[in-house]
Structures are given as structure tokens and as C-alpha cells.
Structure 1
Amino acid sequence: MNGKKYSIGQLAKESGCKVETVHYYEKIGLMPEPPRTEGGHRVYALPHVKRLTFIRRSRELGFKIEQIKDLLKFIDEPNHYCGEVRAMAMQQASAVQEKINDLQRLHSALNDMVIQCKDSNNSIDNCPIVDSLFTKKVA
């Protein structure tokens, strides 16, 4: 293994993850088992940093673990094309938009509830927000 070598702590820091996350990703097969020193310490290299960064960025974009496994298969196995990744990105963008729409509905519902509460000095028995939580479907 040529080039810079990383301990698990250095790998985690370099990629913006926690050591526990690295262990978890190794356990579930997202990260390959690294070579070990004679003393049993893991030794990582730049490809590990790149892969872990890829996984972290994919998680930040909301991809689920199974989707990331599929994305990594596209990279690791021959005969895959950018269009396959594009399709997954389009699907993820659609899922994110659905979440945004849901959050906008929740925001609107909460604002409507706040608008109904004109007098902050009402007793809890006369609180329109509490009443609406008992009687109305939110979003």
C-alpha cells in the first residue's frame, strides 16, 4: 500500500465522520475491511478516505444505506453507466421535494394555529392551539 496511511481516527477526521461510524460502515459492508498492522491496527489509505467521504456526502443528500450500497456497486462493478446514477439522483430529488411539500404543509398548519391564538393570556382551557390539537388533523 503506497501513499499516505491513516489510522481510523485520522480517517474519521479526514472524511468528517466519527470512528464509530467507520466501524458501522465496515460492519454493514459499505467500507471494505482495511489491512492491519502486525499489532492488529487498521491501516487506511486515500481510497478509503474517498469512499468514506462519498458515503458521508450521500447520507447528507438523504440517500438511504441500501441506495448507497447500490451507488457503490455502480462504482465497484464493471459495466455501469452514469445514467444509472442520474436516475437514482432524480428519484432522490423527488423524495426530497415530497418532504419539502410535507414540511410546508406542517408549517402552514402551525401558522394557522398560532394565528388563532390572539390572546396569550388565555387560560389553557381556552387555548385555541390546544383545542385544535385535540380536534383537528394537522397537515
Structure 2
Amino acid sequence: MEGLTISQVAKKANVNIETIRYYERRGLISEPPRSESGYRKFTLEVVEDIKFIKRTQDLGFTLEEIKNILAASNDEKFRSGEMHAFAINKMEEIETKIHNLKHMKTLLEDLTEKCPGSGISKSECPIIKKFQGVN
């Protein structure tokens, strides 16, 4: 039986062996066949799938989203319309996060301007007071 060992896959994909096991448990990569001696024997496609997973993780996709993208891309009946809708929804989600982060930044800028920085008690700190709901 030919194939790559888990350590070979880890080296080629530049990940830790535990990462491969984790992806396998999460269903991101399928469980490979085993040799007669019980060793996993991975295909080269698994290396590419792992690299794909890492790239999409770096872009901020969740493992569940990545699992869905992989399933769609490996489906014989690939539906580009669904992928397009997914991308649109993800962009809207990102826009919401950007809006919330900008709001948080503005709030923190305002609070740090009101905070003398040192020499006050916790009960006088405008940052703590705001987070406690005290005005």
C-alpha cells in the first residue's frame, strides 16, 4: 500500500502532526486507509487540503466554514451560486465586525482621553465606570 505517513504529510503541509489528527477528528480531512501494520497512509491530495485549510484559516474563516467550502469544492455537482452566496454573506459578516471594531475603537479613544492614566482609584476610573454601566 502506497501513500504518505502522517509525519510526511505534516512536513509537506508545514503543520504539526496533532493538527492533522485534529482535522481528521473534525471531519475536515477523511480518515485515510491503514497499512497492514496499522499506519495511516495519506494521499497527496490531503496535503493540498491541509494547505487549503491553513490558508483559509489565515483569512479568518472558521473550521466549520472551511469544512463546508471543502465539501462544496469536492462535490461532483459543484454549485458556484452557493459559493457566491456564501462569499456575499461572509463579506456582510466582515463589514459588521469592522463596524463594531470601529465603534469599540472610538469608545476606547474617548475613554482614554477622559482617563488621567494614574493616580485615581478604581471607582473614579472612567474606563471601569463605563464598563460597569456607571456614567
**Do both proteins adopt the same fold according to a TM-score greater than 0.5, normalized to the shorter chain?**
yes
Q: Structure 1 unaligned runs (5+)? A: none
Question: CA 1:35 to 1:119, structure 2 compared with 1: closer, same or farther past 3 Å?
Answer: closer
Deviation at residue 102 of structure 1 after TM alignment = 1.2
- 1:15 maps to 13
Deviation at residue 79 of structure 1 after TM alignment = 2.0
- 2:114 maps to 116
The CA RMSD measured in Å over matched residues stands at 2.5
56-65 vs 107-116, greater mean Cα deviation? 56-65
Normalised by the length of structure 1, the TM-score is 0.78
47-56 vs 74-83, greater mean Cα deviation? 74-83
Partners of 1:123 and 1:27 lie apart in 2 by: 50
Matched, 1:40 2:34: no
Deviation at residue 61 of structure 1 after TM alignment = 2.5
Aligned length: 135
Partners of 1:106 and 1:37 lie apart in 2 by: 54
Question: CA 1:28 to 1:122, structure 2 compared with 1: closer, same or farther past 3 Å?
Answer: closer
Deviation at residue 22 of structure 1 after TM alignment = 1.4
SS of 1:135's equivalent in the other structure is coil
Partners of 1:37 and 1:88 lie apart in 2 by: 39
**Aligned partner (choices 63, 84, 95) of residue 65 of structure 1:** 63
Identity, % of aligned pairs?
Answer: 34
Question: CA 1:79 to 1:133, structure 2 compared with 1: closer, same or farther past 3 Å?
Answer: closer
Question: CA 1:126 to 1:79, structure 2 compared with 1: closer, same or farther past 3 Å?
Answer: closer
- 1:51 maps to 49
